[in-house]
Structure 1
Amino acid sequence: MIEDEDQARRFVAQRSDFKAMARLDRFAEALAEENRHQNLVSSASLEHIWQRHFADSAQLLDFVPLSEPEWIDLGSGAGFPGLVIACMRPEFNVTLVESRKKRIIWLENMVQSLGLVRARVVGSTLQSVSGFRADVISARAFAPLPKLIDLSARFSTSDTIWVLPKGQSAAQEWQELPRRLQQMFHVKQSQTDASAGILVGSGKAEIRS
């Protein structure tokens, strides 16, 4: 279990190269500055940014054994986990979906300033995003699980990997799924919070009728 900033930074470094770590350092500096103008994350969490945000996002890579996936991140907000993934794996095609105007501008500026040429920001509601086949679907604090699955099902295929950090509610949200969806997902322990879980799944989700 990651318990402090030094451990979190080492955790991310083990999954990154020098250039990725430099991008994340610039990301952290920019986030602290932007947070003075809009509430992207809680001010208290900035003191633990590597544990609370960077390592928390980076751990999702452990469930994605793909070389160059098409990755969609729902409700990217301040950039977690999608922008962190793009920083660490610039060869991935990462689509960041965000509907709030100020956060869209923030994400677009960060993608450009960090030189993430294979990341793109789609500034709209998820319902308005043109469908495409996603190899990976991620979301953190986006929506309750049934709604999240319904909204994103059209991006999934039989090979899609779902990585959904759900905090303390992970097990409960899994239990409340219909049985057919329970069989798609399992709960994995978060490495950054002993009380948090990640719902990891694979396959094509069926939209509720």
Structure 2
Amino acid sequence: MLTAGDKKVRSETFVSRETNEPLRTYSASIKKWTDKINLIARKDANDEAIWERHILDSRQIVPLIPAGVTRAIDLGSGAGLPGMVVAIERPDIHVSMIEADRRKAAFLQTMVATLGLSATVVAERIEMARIAPVALVMARALAPLPDLLVYAVPLLAPGGVCLFMKGRNAEAEIAAAAADWRMVVERFASQTDPDAMILRISEVRRAG
């Protein structure tokens, strides 16, 4: 049966002095590029919303990354949330960002080069991506949990974990996933959205 850790932990949104400048450069670039290719919703394309609702929101993943992770994958990275934020905050982790939209992938590649990040952009559909399994798979606002697990498990190394940022339907998605998957789920309360949480999922395997 599905095992669910009930802990709810408020993760830090503190941004270190060393990463503040590249994050600000990244934020400004999201604003600039959204005018052309809709990286994020246009209503959020202002400095405050980008910083609070997107960058600091994504940054909550960083303290939840298990020790020893050196490679990670961001599924459906879009504007690079949370993959780009992790690559900036954790230069010791090589992040592969999978994004099928070629225009968004071009933005990600520009950011990787501009900021000198240890990251790779994979401009393919998730199911077509050929990447060696990693210890951490991430996603934000991509798909319901049952679908996320289908995407993530082939890319997850033994003993690896998933960090998924979910909204108000998280509990229903966990229940739906229990029909096909066995896993340990830890819940972490979001600091940026009272209806949201971050799921840290481990020991994932098919049911039966």
Does the alignment pair 1:151 with 2:151? yes
Paired position in structure 2 for 1:167 = 167
Which letter does structure 1 place at the counterpart of 2:174? W
d(CA) in 2 for partners of 1:199, 1:78 = 21
2:183, 2:87 → 1: CA distance? 29
Query: 2:27 & 2:131 partners in 1: Cα distance?
Result: 32
Could you say what secondary structure the match of 1:111 adopts?
helix
Matched positions, count: 196
Deviations 1:92-151 (A, max 9, x none): 1100000001101111011101111x2000000111111412111100122221111112
Highest RCO, 1 vs 2 (Cα 8 Å, sep ≥ 6): 2
Higher strand share: 2
Say if 2:37 is the partner of 1:35: no
Cα displacement (A) at 1:157 = 3.1
Q: State the alpha-carbon separation in 2 of the partners of residues 160 and 91 from structure 1.
A: 17
Residues 29 and 120 (structure 1 numbering): CA distance in 2 closer, same or farther, change over 3 Å? same
2:74 corresponds to: 73
Contact kept? 2:182, 2:204, Cα under 8 Å = no
Contact 1:174 1:187 in 2 (8 A): no
Alpha-carbon contact 1:175-1:182 (below 8 Å) kept: no
Tell me which amino acid in the other structure corresponds to 1:58: R
Q: What is the Cα deviation at residue 67 of structure 1?
A: 4.3
Amino acid across the alignment from 1:115: G
Q: Distance in 1 between matches of 2:162 and 2:110?
A: 27
Code of the residue aligned with 2:70 in structure 1: it is P
- State the superposition RMSD in angstroms: 2.1
Q: Equivalent residue for 2:97?
A: 96
| d(CA) in 2 for partners of 1:102, 1:145 | 26
Query: 2:114 corresponds to which residue?
Result: 113
TM-score, structure 1 as length reference: 0.86
CA contact (8 A) 1:132 1:155 kept: yes
Decide whether the 8 Å contact of 1:24 with 1:84 is kept in 2: yes
The equivalent residue for 1:191 is 191
Aligned counterpart, 1:7: none
Q: Conserved in 2, the CA contact under 8 Å of 1:158 and 1:202?
A: no
Distance (whole Å) between structure 2 residues aligned to residue 173 and residue 82 of structure 1: 22
TM-superposed deviation, 1:182: 5.5
* Structure 2 residue aligned with 1:5: none
Q: Which moved more, 1:94-103 or 1:140-149?
A: 140-149
Question: 2:13 aligns to what SS in structure 1?
Answer: helix
State the identity as a percent. Answer: 30
